[in-house]
Amino acid sequence: MKRFFLSLCLGLTLTAGLVTVQAETDILTFKSAEAEETYNGLIEELRCLVCQNQNLAGSDADLAKDLRSQVYDMVEEGRDRKDVIDYMVTRYGDFVLYRPAFQLKTLLLWLGPVVFLLLTLWLVTRWVRSQSVKPSETTLSDAQRETVRDLLDKHK
């Protein structure tokens, strides 16, 4: 009986791994190919607000579905790309954009990595220079030179 129960549990566990999850896909119809292209470009460019580093096209979150629907409605109304982006930025802030515009408030975002890299290079250069051994510039007296020559001659 014990063997049957273990076999049953093992069989159920292995079978559970075979179950596939089918993702829900939206089937959208567009008035024109241009509208479809605009929509696809926008959902690739706009960020899902609740997901970590995912765009609207790649997110399955409920908010992403709502935002995709909103983008679809706006594109179908005839709004152009700039209008949709302006609406989303006004409503959700610059975070909704994967590539925010270069503005004063995004200055650190754009220049931060460059400043950090330059600062790191400067610090590494200073550290390497401080670790390097500087040759001694002391001069030997004539007696010391003679002693060194004698020692070198003995070992030849």
Residues ≥6 apart with Cβ < 8 Å to 38? 75, 80, 81
Rounded to the nearest 10°, the torsion over CA 78, 38, 100, 69 is 70
Ordered by start, the domain boundaries in the chain are: 21-100, 105-131
Instruction: Compute the C-alpha angle 106/90/38, nearest 5°.
Output: 95
* Domain spanning 21-100, CATH architecture: Orthogonal Bundle (1.10)
The torsion angles phi and psi of 47, rounded to 5 degrees, stand at -90, 145
Output the tens digit of pLDDT for each of the chain's 156 residues: 778 877 777 777 777 666 554 445 567 777 788 888 888 998 888 888 888 788 888 888 888 889 899 999 999 988 888 999 999 888 988 888 877 777 777 777 778 889 999 999 999 999 988 887 666 667 888 898 899 898 888 887
- In this predicted structure, what is the pLDDT of residue 25? 59
Instruction: Compute the C-alpha angle 124/127/132, nearest 5°.
Output: 125
SS3 call for 80: coil
Helix, strand, coil shares, percent, the chain, to 5: 65, 5, 35
- In this predicted structure, what is the pLDDT of residue 137? 67
Tokens 């030849």, residue?
A: 156
